[in-house]
Amino acid sequence: MSGSTERMPRLLALVPYLLARPGIRIEEAARDFDVSARQLRKDLELLWMCGLPGYGPGDLIDLSFDGDTVSVTYDAGMRRPLRLTGGEATALLIALRALAETPGVLDTDAVHRAIAKIEAAAGAAQPSGVVVGMGVREAATTARTRETVRAALQVGRALRIRYYSASRDRITDRTVDPMRLLIVQAIGYLEAWCRLAGDVRLFRLDRFDDIVVLDEPSAPPAHAEPTDLSGGVFSPEPDHPEAEIVLDPDARWVAEYYPCEELAELDGGRLRVLMRYGDQSWMVRLVLGLGGRARVERPAELAEAVRQRAAAALARARHLPVTSGQ
C-alpha cells in the first residue's frame, strides 16, 4: 500500500482519523496506514497546505505537533471519512458473511453484529447479488476435536493425538506442538510441529480418532516455519515422484480434485495428466479405485503395482464362500 496510487484514499482518511485520536504518535498512525513514518509526515505536510477557498491562515487545515505526536486543530470540513465504495463494502461484508458461516472461528453473534453495523454505515454500498452459504457439514466429533485443539492453543499445551493419515492409510499415535488452527476451503486443519515426523505437519480435524491435551507446554522448535498456503493445502513437493496418467471422460474429475498438470487432450475426451504423489500406496489406491477409467503410462513400476494389486484382490475374492446371489 506504499505506492502513490494509494495516496488519495489515505489523504482523505487522515484528517478524520487524527480527529478521532488527538495526540496520537505519528509512528502509530503510520502503522495503521501501513506506511513509513516519513511518508506519513509528508502526507501531513501536504494536508497542511490544503483548505477552504480563501486559503488564508484560518481557512487551511491546521495541525499541531508536539514531540512525536500530532493533533488536528482545524479540519476545514473534512470531519468524516469517505463512505465505502461498492467494491470495499463487498470485499469486507462478504468476508464477514463467510466468517459467520464458518464454524468455530469466532463468536458468530459478534460477526453478525459487525455485519449489521457496517451495512448500516455503508448505506447504498451494500453488496447485492452475493450469497454465502458455506454449507459445511461438520460432524459432531470434528466440532469436539476443534474445540479441544482451540483450548490447547489458548493455553499453549502439547497434544497427544491418534491420527488417521490418508496418504499412508495408517493410524498413528503422535505428540504434537500446536501452532495454528487453519480453516481453508471450509476444512479445518491443525498446523503443528509433529515430534514423530520431526517437521511441521497439517492435520485434518476430521481425521482425529483421539485427542488429549497434555500437561506439558507446546514447544515447536524455533525453526518450525508456518506452512506456505499460497498454493493451497496440498502443494506437491518438487522431489516427489511423478506419474503420467490418462483419464477417461468419467475420471476427468481427478484433474479438478487433485493438483495435476494437464498435459494433453486425447481422442474420445480423454485427458493426459501429470501428478506428483508423496506415497505410492496412496497413488495405487486412487488408480485402482478408478477401476480402469485411469491408466498409468509411467512409471512402469506404478502401473505394475496397480495391476498386481487388482489381480491379487480377484484371486483372494475367489477364496470367499460362495453366496446365493453369485
Partner 1 sequence: MSTARAERLVNLVLALLSTRQYLTAERIRGIVPGYADATSDEAFSRMFERDKTELRELGIPLETGRNSVFDPVEGYRIARRDYELGEIDLAPDEAAAVALAVRLWDSPDLTGQAQGALVKLRAAGVEVDENAPTIVEPRVHTEPAFAPLLAAVQDGQVVRFDYRRSDSPERRARTLEPWGVVSWRARWYVVGHDRDRDAPRCFRLSRITGEVRRVGKPGAVRRPRDVNLLDFVAGTSERDSSPVARARLWIADGRAAGVRRRAQPVGRMTVGDDPGDVMELDLYFPESAADWIAGHGEDVLVLEPDVLAKSVRDRLERVVHGEDG
Least distance between partner 1 and beta carbon 135 (Å): 5
Element containing residue 310 per DSSP (H, E)? helix 300-317
Residue 139 is a binding residue for partner 1 (CB under 8 A) = no
Least distance between partner 1 and beta carbon 19 (Å): 8
DSSP code at position 51: B
Element containing residue 300 per DSSP (H, E)? helix 300-317
Q: How far apart are CA 62 and CA 77, in angstroms?
A: 12
Residue 4 is a binding residue for partner 1 (CB under 8 A) = yes
Residue 166 is a binding residue for partner 1 (CB under 8 A) = yes
DSSP-based three-state secondary structure for 220: coil
Least distance between partner 1 and beta carbon 50 (Å): 4
Would you say how long the chain is, in residues? 326
Residue 63 is a binding residue for partner 1 (CB under 8 A) = no
Selected binder of partner 1 within 110, 197, 212, 219 (CB under 8 A): 110
Residue 228 is a binding residue for partner 1 (CB under 8 A) = no
C-alpha cell at 249: 471422460
Strand order in the sheet with 242-247: 260-265, 271-276, 242-247, 294-298
Residue 196 is a binding residue for partner 1 (CB under 8 A) = no
DSSP-based three-state secondary structure for 287: helix
Q: How far apart are CA 192 and CA 197, in angstroms?
A: 11
Residues 233-272 that bind partner 1 (CB under 8 A): 249-250, 252-253, 256, 265, 269, 271
Phi, psi of 288 (to 5 degrees): -60, -40
Selected binder of partner 1 within 22, 23, 58, 123 (CB under 8 A): 123
Selected binder of partner 1 within 22, 85, 139, 240 (CB under 8 A): 85
CA distances from 120 to 78, 89, 116, 124, 304 (A): 21, 11, 6, 9, 64
Residues 265-304 that bind partner 1 (CB under 8 A): 265, 269, 271, 284-293, 295
Selected binder of partner 1 within 25, 150, 160, 272 (CB under 8 A): 150
Which residue, 194 or 283, is less far from partner 1 as judged by CB? 283
Q: How far apart are CA 179 and CA 200, in angstroms?
A: 9
Selected binder of partner 1 within 196, 197, 219, 311 (CB under 8 A): 311
Selected binder of partner 1 within 40, 63, 78, 200 (CB under 8 A): 78
Which span (66-74, 120-128, 196-204, 211-219) binds partner 1, by CB under 8 A?
A: 120-128
Core vs surface per residue 52-62: b (16+ CB within 10 A) or e: eeeeeeeebbb
Least distance between partner 1 and beta carbon 39 (Å): 12
Residue 81 is a binding residue for partner 1 (CB under 8 A) = yes
Q: How far apart are CA 33 and CA 13, in angstroms?
A: 9
Residue 114 is a binding residue for partner 1 (CB under 8 A) = yes
Total residues contacting partner 1 by CB under 8 A comes to 128
